[in-house]
Amino acid sequence: MIDASNALKEEERAWIILFRRMNEIRNALLDNLPGPLLLILPPFLKNQFTYQAPDFWSVRSALVEVDTNGAAGSVTERRESAIEGINAASHPDIDRLREQVVEARKQSEKSPRDIRAKRSLRILLERLGDHEIKLGSRESAYHHYNESLEINRALLAEDPDKIPWKSDLAFSLLRVGDIDNACGDLNRALGLYEESLALMRELLSMDPEQIEWKRALSVSLNRVGEAYHAHGDLSRALGVYDESLGVMRELLSMDPDSMEWKWDLFVSLIKVGDVNNACGDLSRALKSYNEPLGLMRELLSMDPDRTEWKRDLSVCLDRIGDVYNTLGDKVSASEAYEEALGLKRELLSMDPDRVEWKRDLSLSLDRVGDVHRVNSVYNLTLTNHYQFGYFVSTQFTHGETHGNWK
């Protein structure tokens, strides 16, 4: 429950920021909340919520209005769900979700001028695509994301000045571009990323203080940088990565305690380091890797059980170890590799069947074994590193691997 019944008019800007953020992460909220989300809003914030979080508003299951100036118990209730049951379950049955898409598509075709019906269909398509991705059905997800993208384009074409439509289109372009990128269609991915980036720049030009759009700009810049990097255009990749890094530093300066901004800055720094490394500028690469190393240690100190951050820390340590290894500093390389290895052993002990952890451990064992071999340390420890690394590699090669930003 979010209770804003006593919100003051001077707090309106803060609530607007919250509503926009809720709209941005709507799918995650709908999928992970254990039950319904209840918002208690005064009239001036209800109007803001309908405008700032239109996707949430379009899937509401009920609206209850209380006349605070009338008699006690004076209540008006209107059920206005665009699709009944859209958020009934925290983890919806995939078949039921597909049925809802079919129902929403029929409703949209029946009322082609009904914007709410189009938006409801778009939201369901994105949710279904997200679930298809989790199930490994990339082709099906791509189909749903593309249909959602076309709806977003149509909505914006009908009302080119509508800000929420531009924001929706920008994020939709990223979804489709990510699958194109994963499938190796780098040219199409780059085109979609650049279109998203242009929209984000346009949105920020209208509201330069909009925090959510600044972060979205950073995400779009990183995607464009990844495409340039994959194309081998390291100079342009470094340029957009540096711009993204500047945006993230600005956001963190506005909220120095934000774990989200610190993690985003961590990612941007790693990407800058990767390009510097690829360009052969090892001193800059090492500097770029050492800063996120400190950030990740700080994040883990605040949440020591966060498994994804432990893996991020191990990845950063591997990057640092690689640079030291290339520079010929085998002692520093070994220290970084050994710490990363310890983290990966810990992760695998927490989830022994996870293929990704097995793969990571095998690669880490190879790194440690290689650096010891160069140092002529042929001992039992070295032998064990290689033997266990080989054992783990034979295990994970029979399973599926899962990619991520690393």
258, 274 contact by CB (below 8 A): no
pLDDT at 60: 58
Q: Which residues pair with 63 in a beta bridge?
A: 78
Which residues of the chain carry a pLDDT beneath 70? 23-35, 47-48, 50-92, 373-406
Query: What DSSP character marks residue 11?
Result: G
pLDDT at 75: 38
pLDDT at 57: 54
Separation of alpha carbons 21 and 17, rounded Å: 6
pLDDT at 144: 95
Burial class (CB in 10 A: 0-12, 13-18, 19+), 150: middle
86, 61 contact by CB (below 8 A): yes
Separation of alpha carbons 358 and 344, rounded Å: 8
* Cα dihedral across residues 144, 150, 154, 159: positive or negative: positive
pLDDT at 381: 44
Separation of alpha carbons 367 and 386, rounded Å: 10
Give the containing element (helix H, strand E) for 40. Answer: strand 39-40
Q: How far is CA 398 from CA 95, 133, 364, in A?
A: 29, 21, 19
3-state helix, strand, coil in the chain (%, to 5): 75, 5, 25
pLDDT at 89: 37
pLDDT at 220: 94
Separation of alpha carbons 163 and 161, rounded Å: 6
153, 171 contact by CB (below 8 A): no
Separation of alpha carbons 231 and 218, rounded Å: 20
